[in-house]
Amino acid sequence: MNVKDELLSNLLHSASPLSGTELADRIGCSRMAISKGASALAADGYKISVSRSDGYKLEKSDVLSQQILEHVFNIPAFYFPVCESTMTEAKNLVNRGTSVPFAVVASRQERGRGRLGRSFFSPEGGVYLSIALPGTSIPNPDMLTTAASLAVSRSIEALTGLECAIKWVNDIYIHGRKAVGILTEGLVNMEEGGLDKAIIGIGVNLQKGDEKVPDELKDKLIYLYPEGNSPVTRSELAARITDEILSVLDEDFIDEYRSRCFILGSEITVIKNGIGRDAVALDVDDKAGLVVRYSDGSTETLSSGEVTLRI
């Protein structure tokens, strides 16, 4: 490790300030090298306070780096400043034999993927996370995406206080607009059958960056912090979501999911193969299926697909 990385590691692990002399002794370099290392970290975006009496202290900084992820995640995590899609990177890592569970985080994605073959707008400022899990840790694969939406809602609420509602099946809405998208992909074991591994991808519109929002998304999405003043760092939120997903899988969570599902009782359009049908959303059953009643009086339980709210 070079001085800069060693300095970051020491500061990350110390709640109180460390003097230049103490740091120089620990790392085995001069105080001048520490000062230069601190400047290099500041240039990377880390906030380091320096006081003559106390020394160097790392303040909360919204920087994503491999070292930060290793510090905040409880499972192995891999950082990409930019990638096509964290889903693709996670799949590549699985194919290269990386043991699961692990997480992949990117600062931005060039070809973020959404559900139903759509793209996901992924500029700097958001959280782009994929979590690869062993199939054995997923008692009920059909409800994985439901579990993930609940875990993300809980994490956002705990860290920001913003109230999250879920639009079946797994879009998370804040103040009536989509703030988070979730995509799950399964890897099947062709020899033994069944779910071998699953990758859950989560994109959170945390704070607005410099990139222009495409016109077609302007009225649809919302940022948790449109002014860019998030009190929560991307790494903190990504790590919290990961922990919450790992723990929710063992819970009986359907009642909480149902209570967060804001479309129940509303008039909706059920979209199948591009064709919309008017219906009323009646309930979410115990397997997270959406029970709907169409205008001709017939009912159906949807296990996947897309619904939109009719206003």
**Site for ligand BTN, rule CB under 6 A:** 85-87, 109, 112-115, 118, 120, 128-130, 181-183, 201-203
> The tokens 């799949």 sit on which residue?
91
Nearest distance in Å: CB 169, ligand BTN? 10
Nearer to ligand BTN, 36 or 178 (CB): 178
Nearer to ligand BTN, 86 or 235 (CB): 86
Residue 32: what residue type?
Answer: M
Angle, to 10 degrees, between the axis of helix 20-27 and the axis of helix 31-43?
A: 100
Nearer to ligand BTN, 55 or 181 (CB): 181
**How far apart are the two ends of the chain, measured CA to CA in Å?**
58
Nearest distance in Å: CB 90, ligand BTN? 8
Nearest distance in Å: CB 36, ligand BTN? 36
Determine how many CB atoms are found less than 10 A away from the CB of residue 102. Answer: 19
Closest chain position to ligand BTN (CB): 181
Q: Are 58 and 48 spatial neighbours (Cβ–Cβ below 8 Å)?
A: yes
Residues recorded for the chain? 311
Nearer to ligand BTN, 78 or 128 (CB): 128
Determine how many CB atoms are found less than 10 A away from the CB of residue 17. Answer: 17
Nearest distance in Å: CB 201, ligand BTN? 3
The H or E element spanning position 152 is: helix 144-160
Nearer to ligand BTN, 8 or 183 (CB): 183
Nearer to ligand BTN, 139 or 214 (CB): 214
Region class of 222: left (phi > 0), else alpha (psi between -120 and 50), else beta? beta
Nearer to ligand BTN, 13 or 111 (CB): 111
Q: What letter does residue 214 receive in the DSSP assignment?
A: P
Determine how many CB atoms are found less than 10 A away from the CB of residue 67. Answer: 16
CA distance 236 to 230: 11
Nearest distance in Å: CB 206, ligand BTN? 12
Nearest distance in Å: CB 120, ligand BTN? 4
Q: Are 223 and 50 spatial neighbours (Cβ–Cβ below 8 Å)?
A: no
Task: Please list the residues that pair with 309 across neighbouring strands.
Answer: 268
Q: What is each CA distance from 293 to 265, 273, 283, in whole angstroms?
A: 10, 19, 10
Nearest distance in Å: CB 21, ligand BTN? 44
